A and B are shown apart, each in its own frame.
Chain A
Amino acid sequence: MSCCGPDRCATCGDIADRATIRSIEGADAACVLESGEEITAAIDLVPGALVGRVLLVHQGVAIGMERRSGEEAVG
């Protein structure tokens, strides 16, 4: 996983990757990106994280969780 490339600067671009949680161990979640790439994300800041939920991951840390229909985003 790279933070940047010729067409991407995660910090400047305010980019957060959508990552689906596969498993959780302590404060870290094993996730898979839409591209199929597997990453580990810190979930310290998303207390409601559960397997199957979609995280918004920025620089290795989940900053929020995508809304499911009928509920508020994040939290």
Chain B
Amino acid sequence: MKYVDEYRDAETIRALASEIARKVDLSRVYRIMEICGGHTHTIFRFGLAQLLPDNIELIHGPGCPVCVLPMGRMDVGLAMAENEGLIFAAFGDMMRVPGSKGSPLESKARGADVRMVYSPLDALKIAQKNPDRHVMFFAIGFETTAPSTAVTLMRAKEMGIENFSVFCNHILVNPALRALLDMEDMRLDGFIGPGHVSTVIGCQTYSFIADEYDRPVVVSGFEPVDIMQSISMLVDQLNANEAKVRNQYTRAVSWEGNPAAIGALDLVFELRDSFEWRGLGEIPNSAYKIREEFGRFDAEKVIGVHGQTFADPVEAQCGEVLKGAIKPTECKLFGKGCTPENPVGALMVSSEGACAAQYKYADVTIGVTD
């Protein structure tokens, strides 16, 4: 696989590590947050942090939508799933995510009709094949995933489908970043910007981070060479006291993003006034809801919200990890009460969560080809 080999080549990774080591200013610390769960995963999987100088700290951001979904939203979704005759469809990512009364898989074991789909379009096909039953798709994800829900609802409307709805939990990257940047004890110096979110929304959208908060951003691809190049580009900016938005991932990301995808998002969704994030709390305008024009597909209106919801456990220190105040291993629950098998905190839920990745790849020691 030429493409993958090119971006995972150990020699190139080590050369970039040497280049970074040569140019860092040893009198300072560089605190760099990778926003995306995919970047976090690559960093742990290939042991990239161990290749960097000690004064570069990588802080793992909130870019895992499953991790930041509050338990209460899962409770609401699963309460809907218990409606007589309803088919509950969701990505496989969601199947093990715990609500206060268990996960979708446990609901399935109790008799709910829970189905795993690859795409929301597959959930729509299930609705077409089962006209006498209602299919609810549990939608989750950032701006990378929201377009697939938008396309599905546009097609459902065009086809006149009556027995399909979406429980919308789509969230937005920038409000979460602004919330982090506004925190009093925020210690971040720069950001590795999300890759495929930026394929949709473009690079220009991060200009506020440079202009208002004086922090550089480099939008990055997901392979180890991409991430090492992005760190090198951030070090250059920080050494020069610059704060600009740069694009390392030029093969997939443009400055403006994808106008057709942005148009679909605007057509189908509007902003919620506020939305709760696990570990970060309520953030204004940080999530989508379905517009009135597509209201007949909005599960919160069509099915209604029933059942009691529960707050997230307070013992886990996810917020502190997200702010860079502590490392995952410094959380008092890490590896003890909170493990990937039995997650308590948000960041242990998905394999891309900062704590889950740290737990899984703790023994990786060097960037290698795969």
Contacts and interface: CB of A to CB of B under 8 A. Distances in A.
Nearest to B38: A13
Contacts of B257: 74
Contact of A64 (B36, B154, B199): B199
Given A12-B64, A63-B200, A64-B199, A74 B253 contact: yes
Given A44-B260, A63-B261, A74-B252, A13 B119 contact: no
Nearest to A67: B251
Contacts of A59: 91, 118-120, 141, 145, 148
* A interface: dominant SS: loop
Closest 5 CB pairs of A and B: A60-B119, A13-B38, A12-B352, A61-B148, A12-B64
B352 A9 contact: yes
Given A2-B92, A45-B261, A46-B260, 8 more contacts: A3-B117, A12-B350, A58-B145, A59-B119, A60-B121, A63-B144, A64-B261, A74-B257
B261 A10 contact: no
A58 B350 contact: no
A66 interface: yes
A2 B118 contact: yes
B265 to A, nearest CB: 10
A16 interface: yes
B200 A64 contact: yes
B92 A58 contact: no
Interface residues of B, number: 54
A59 B170 CA distance: 14
Interface string B327-367: 00000000000000000000000111100000000000000
Contacts of A73: 199, 250-254
B285 to A, nearest CB: 21
A7 B120 CA distance: 22
Interface string A39-75: 0001011110000000010111101101100001111
B92 A12 contact: no
Contacts of B278: none
A68 to B, nearest CB: 9
A74 B254 contact: yes
Interface stretch (B72-80, B177-185, B190-198, B292-300): B190-198
B50 interface: no
Interface of A: 1-16, 18, 34, 42, 44-47, 56, 58-61, 63-64, 66-67, 72-75
A11 B63 contact: no
A45 B260 contact: yes
B176 to A, nearest CB: 14
A66 B252 contact: yes
Contact of B3 (A12, A34, A72): A34
A46 B66 CA distance: 27
Contacts of A15: 38, 196, 222
B276 interface: no
Contact of A12 (B155, B199, B353): B353
A49 to B, nearest CB: 10
Contacts of B311: none
Contact of A11 (B66, B194, B252): B66
Interface in B87-122: 91-93, 116-122
A45 B144 contact: no
B67 interface: yes
Nearest to A48: B260
B147 interface: yes
Contacts of A34: 1, 3-4
Contacts of B260: 44-47, 75
Given A56-B196, A63-B200, A72 B254 contact: yes
Given A44-B264, A46-B258, A12 B147 contact: no
B65 interface: yes
